[in-house]
Amino acid sequence: MSKRILITGAAGFLGSHLCDRFVSEGFHVIGMDNFITGVEDNINHLYKHSNFEFIEHDVTEFVKIEGKLDYILHFASPASPIDYLKIPIQTLKVGSLGTHNLLGLAKAKQARILIASTSEVYGDPLVHPQTEDYYGNVNAIGPRGVYDEAKRFQESLTMAYHRFHKLETRIVRIFNTYGPRMRLNDGRVIPAFMGQALRGEDLTVFGDGMQTRSFCYVDDQVEGIYRLLFSDYVYPVNIGNPDEITILDFAKEIINLTHTDQKIVFEELPKNDPLQRQPDISLAKKLLDWEPKTTRSEGMRITFNYFKSLPEERLYKREHKDFSNHIKR
């Protein structure tokens, strides 16, 4: 009988790619999502597989699964700054109550559980690059605090279940990851710049653009998560691509890639926007024999081709149009 895995956040960007991977590896995959930031388009192609099923459910409510369960991947959570600023309470709840429910389910089923954490647990980091033993620099009451603290609580609760209940737990600290199936209008910098290029708009760089990020292509991220799940390491592991770039240089790269002649315009830097971010992946290399393989130029080309292939109405759907003020408070 095949191994059964529950993947929460299945209709989201990362969750849907994880469903693909585990379906193709022959697992029986149960996807779960409440579509708060995900879309069914991301999983429609999976329904034809007999080893995929989907349950629409909010994981902050009791999670019930019939039969045995071997693994849980908890990926449900808004992940884009404009999403979690729009739905701050749900963000706190899914990281805390949702995680509690899934840890309880893992305990009841004696399943191994991997929790999606984030580089945001390091906040606006004072240590660079970020190593797993850095405690971080987070403003709990700032606008991003709803996400950062939910994730920090999630890590803490997970370690408590491991220590107290001897649960098999894994924690991945994901650094900025991108690729096909991101929402064009989710506000994250890659879909934002690519959407602007496709619509012929100026590219909006926040602040002076000197803040840095390090972008990891989704297939590399999925491989790292896959290896971590099957490792025996219980402490957090950074998975990301250390190739760091300033946002201003990145905007220029996008202009070159898209062969557009858009201008760059500068807008106010959102509060507590981290000034630098780069994963130290020594631990993942040693432990998992993992490192990213996809260069930024290759990953961006694939991602841009995906956005270009979307129907025009999705290009102009601006659900967060009047929301930008919230980010800046």
Residues tagged active-site: 147
Tell me: cis bond preceding 129? Omega within 30 of 0 counts.
Answer: yes
User: Is position 11 an interface residue for ligand NAD (rule: CB under 6 A)?
Assistant: yes
User: Is position 154 an interface residue for ligand NAD (rule: CB under 6 A)?
Assistant: no
The residue among 5 and 190 lying less far from ligand UDP, judged by its C-beta, is: 190
Cβ distance 102 to 57 under 8 Å? no
How far, in whole angstroms, is CA 1 from its chain's centroid? Answer: 31
What the block records as the tokens of 77 is: 């959570």
User: Is position 273 an interface residue for ligand UDP (rule: CB under 6 A)?
Assistant: yes
Smallest separation, CB 266 to ligand NAD (Å): 24
User: Is position 303 an interface residue for ligand UDP (rule: CB under 6 A)?
Assistant: no
Smallest separation, CB 230 to ligand UDP (Å): 28
Using alpha carbons only, what angle is made at residue 150 by residues 67 and 66, rounded to the nearest 5 degrees?
5
The packing angle between helices 189-199 and 247-257, to 10°, is 40
What the block records as the tokens of 100 is: 């509690």
What residue 78 binds from ligand NAD, ligand UDP, none (CB within 5 to 8 A, per partner kind)?
Answer: ligand NAD
User: Is position 306 an interface residue for ligand UDP (rule: CB under 6 A)?
Assistant: no
State residue 54 phi and psi, 5-degree precision: -130, 135
> DSSP state, 45?
G
The residue among 15 and 129 lying less far from ligand NAD, judged by its C-beta, is: 15
Residues 175-204, one symbol each (x = binds ligand NAD by CB under 6 A, - = not), give: -xx---------------------------
How far, in whole angstroms, is CA 112 from its chain's centroid? Answer: 20
Nearest to 225 by CA among 60, 24, 59, 75: 75
The residue type of 147 is Y
User: Is position 100 an interface residue for ligand UDP (rule: CB under 6 A)?
Assistant: no
Among 49-57, 164-172, 203-211, 303-311, the segment contacting ligand UDP (CB under 6 A)? 203-211
Give me the residues paired with residue 12 across strands. none
Positions that interact with ligand UDP (CB under 6 A): 81, 176, 187-189, 192, 204-206, 211, 213, 247, 270, 273
Positions that interact with ligand NAD (CB under 6 A): 8-9, 11-15, 33-38, 58-60, 75-79, 94, 98, 116, 118, 174, 176-177
